[in-house]
């Protein structure tokens, strides 16, 4: 785990990258922001899973964002989680950077209503996903933060653009700035199991009840209800995609 502090301000923000070792954008963004500096906030930046980064894998022993609060004498990721929670102690804000194979618009993920308001007001990204306990079952990093925000970027997004969005978020928190841009909030209602070869669907584009989803041999699997797909195309998840409804 690598820890760096930079920036100057009353608001203290913990910025975490590479909870998943193969999502190196977090590390690149942290290095860039440290080089360029940030205004109006004190940042503690943490490159979390260096062991997984070195072997270019999502994790070594277990998914690093599903094992909080971790264990003092556990496996690689459990020890990382345990230590990370000590590091975020006393920080009101945790921003956690991820990347995804899913071709989808930039996405803010929150797991608590309390964090939803921060996502609306401070993050210059339109799509917000309220995840509840369906995915990480209360064992993700942001579940343990006072105000926790995960940011998901399609893997082809540039370090420069992602850095700018993260910087703006940090500075908006620091300045107490309130964004007035319109946000779309999607609440995750579950997963769709993958039981065949998927037809193309697009993230955040409404799938209607009865629409073909997969081809399972001769059988066409149709959607049982209408929903907005999220994370279709992500390899880190087992299912076809997440289902959501607009709030
Ligand atoms: Zn991730």
Tokens 């502090």 -> residue:
5
Neighbours of ion ligand 1 (CB under 5 A): 20, 23, 98
Arithmetic mean of pLDDT over the chain: 95
Predicted pLDDT at 134: 67
Q: What is the distance in A from the centroid of ligand 1 to the CA of 220?
A: 31
> Interhelix angle for 25-36 vs 159-175, to 10°?
60
Edge-to-edge order in the sheet of strand 197-198: 197-198, 212-216, 219-222
Q: What is the distance in A from the centroid of ligand 1 to the CA of 20?
A: 5
Q: What is the distance in A from the centroid of ligand 1 to the CA of 245?
A: 22
Question: Predicted confidence band at 23 (pLDDT cuts at 50, 70, 90)?
Answer: very high
Over the stretch 42-57, which tens digit does the pLDDT of each residue have?
A: 999 999 999 999 999 9
Over the stretch 135-160, which tens digit does the pLDDT of each residue have?
A: 667 899 999 999 999 999 999 999 99
Over the stretch 98-130, which tens digit does the pLDDT of each residue have?
A: 999 999 999 999 999 889 999 999 999 999 999
Q: What average pLDDT does the segment 58-80 reach?
A: 97
**Closest to 167 measured CA to CA, from 4, 36, 68:** 36
**Closest to 96 measured CA to CA, from 57, 136, 61, 60:** 136
**Whole-angstrom distance, CA of residue 242 vs CA of residue 149:** 18
Q: What is the distance in A from the centroid of ligand 1 to the CA of 202?
A: 20
Could you tell me which residues are beta bridge partners of residue 109?
Answer: 129, 150
Could you tell me which residues are beta bridge partners of residue 196?
Answer: none
Q: Which domains does the chain have, with CATH numbers?
A: 2-182 (3.40.630.10), 189-246 (no CATH)
Distances (CA, A) of 157 to 80, 99, 168, 237: 27, 9, 16, 20
pTM over 0.85: yes
Q: What is the distance in A from the centroid of ligand 1 to the CA of 8?
A: 28
């Amino acid at each position: 785990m690598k820890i760096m502090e930079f920036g100057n301000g009353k608001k203290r923000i913990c910025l975490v990258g590479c909870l998943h070792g193969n999502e190196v954008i977090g590390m690149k963004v942290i290095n860039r922001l440290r080089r360029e500096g940030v205004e109006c906030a004190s940042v503690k930046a943490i490159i979390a899973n260096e062991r997984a980064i070195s072997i270019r894998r999502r994790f070594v022993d277990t998914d690093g964002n599903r094992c909080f609060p971790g264990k003092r004498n556990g496996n690689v990721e459990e020890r990382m989680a345990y230590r990370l929670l000590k590091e975020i102690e006393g920080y009101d804000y945790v921003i956690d950077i991820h990347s995804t194979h899913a071709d989808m618009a930039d996405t803010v993920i929150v797991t608590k209503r309390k964090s939803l308001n921060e996502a609306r007001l401070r993050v210059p990204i339109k799509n917000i996903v309220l995840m509840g306990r369906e995915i990480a079952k209360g064992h993700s990093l942001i579940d343990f933060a006072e105000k926790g925000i995960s940011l998901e970027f399609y893997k082809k997004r540039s370090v420069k653009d992602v850095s700018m969005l993260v910087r703006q978020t940090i500075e908006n928190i620091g300045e107490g700035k309130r964004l007035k841009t319109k946000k779309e909030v999607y609440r995750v209602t579950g997963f769709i199991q993958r039981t065949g070869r998927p037809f193309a669907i697009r993230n955040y584009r409404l799938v209607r009840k009865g629409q073909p989803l997969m081809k399972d041999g001769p059988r066409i699997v149709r959607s049982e209800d209408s929903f907005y797909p999220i994370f279709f195309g992500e390899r880190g998840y087992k299912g076809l995609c997440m289902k959501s409804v607009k709030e």
